[in-house]
Structure 1
Amino acid sequence: MSTPLTDYLVTARTFEEYLEMFALDLPTLAGQRVLDCPGGAASFAADGRRHGVRVTALDPAYALAPGDLAVRALDDVRTGADHVAGSLEAYDWSSFGSPEAHRAARTAAAGRFALDLRRRPGDYVAGSLPDTGLPAESFDLVLSSHLLFTYADRLDAAFHRAAVRELLRVLRPGGELRVFPLVDLRAHRPDLVDEVVADVRSSGTAAAEAPVRYRFQRGADSMLLLRKGVSAPSGCAGPRHAAS
């Protein structure tokens, strides 16, 4: 990344958040090779394994010692939760229900992440965009949340284009890259979204915007769906969860 790790929160998102953020169908995920980039302190790899999903998480934070990273993750949970508590009107509580539930869910996810990191360190790769160092065509599905477009104020168009190309490089033909959200930290949709879409379409990758059920940051209610080597996406792989 083009800015220091300390400029970003190492966020502990839950498995359930991933299902909603990326409109994932759990039965369809079983057996798939999935890249979570950046993985942060999410429990997606740990919890996904219980459902037969083969997840590799990649993040520059994994260069830290496991104990140091566990402490950092919990510190960042507190930082994020305190920020949320001070800006309640900026968030939609449909998914979490309350600030207390949000803090508890993220704390639990950080704990599952820290335990899994010690048990299966090979599933957590220290690396960063736009050059992951991963082999080409290694994954059936690539997920990327809260980096691209979120930090449009510090990651420029060249970074976004290179990062998306890299994530497509490690994806098998016909596989999907899903990016969420499509708004920045101010809840504005940056012009970078359209620039990235134009860039990937020029190289033969299908691109479409798809709604998601997840609700937290206001305005963040859709993802970018890219399908490698297909002229037009027919929708998400598998049906989305019905709204409860």
Structure 2
Amino acid sequence: MFRKYGKKENWERGKADYGFTLMEIIVATTIFALVMTALMSIFNYTLKINRRGEALRQATQGMRNLTESIVKDVRNGSINYGVINYGTLLSGRYAANSLPPCSSVTISLGSPAGSSVSNTYALQENKLGVINSEGEEECYYLAYGPGNTGGHAVGDPVPNGVFKATAENPAPVLALKKGDASPQIMTPPNFRVEQLSFFIRPLCDPYSLCADYGGVTPNYQPFVEMNIQFAAQLTTGERVPIYYQTAVTTMKYDIPRR
């Protein structure tokens, strides 16, 4: 083990001396291997961080594109208050007996002329009715996703009062329905909706005399607040939560005064 390999001249002592021992070679090789392993680990870790950062950026961009569609429709259009109180309302803004796409809640036939109407939306909703800038009726809602155990088609609306993933529906999606067309799934394949809530104010048609507002018009600008939690499956195999919250008002300023 201590045999010396290689020959060199030791001019100070004036005699021949031999090179490194086998132990010295092993130690040097071990140190070199450890250094290279550490460098490769740092390199791989840096690549992993870069891949994760890029995956997060793409997931965030996908979430932003999805939510901006809702924001654009609300801002440039109006909140659909014909979801429940459809028929001939006091405002006269909705066609008689029309059936908006967000009509999975209990339908009311409206109110006789001169009387107040009830609230269209609950304090917290899992759906939002919108009339876009082209006059089309749209509905954004929480829907059954793939893998649900209830036999529901992907895109079917979940019951009222359900705002998050359940054992029956572990991977809910955000769906969009336009008029009588088939629903469109808004969430990308690597996304699932963990929780979704819409807070719409006022709760009833601002152009009508609302019973829950003292029989008068609500007298403030309609707006909706969105609270959404997504779970994104990254290309790195990780599943990360992404939270989104915003409030948006309509750009219609002809709300009647009391």
TM-score bracket for the superposition, by shorter chain length:
under 0.3
Higher helix share: 1
Q: Which has the higher contact order (CA 8 A, sep 6+)?
A: 1
Higher Rg? 2
**What is the TM-score when the length of structure 2 is the normalising length?**
0.22
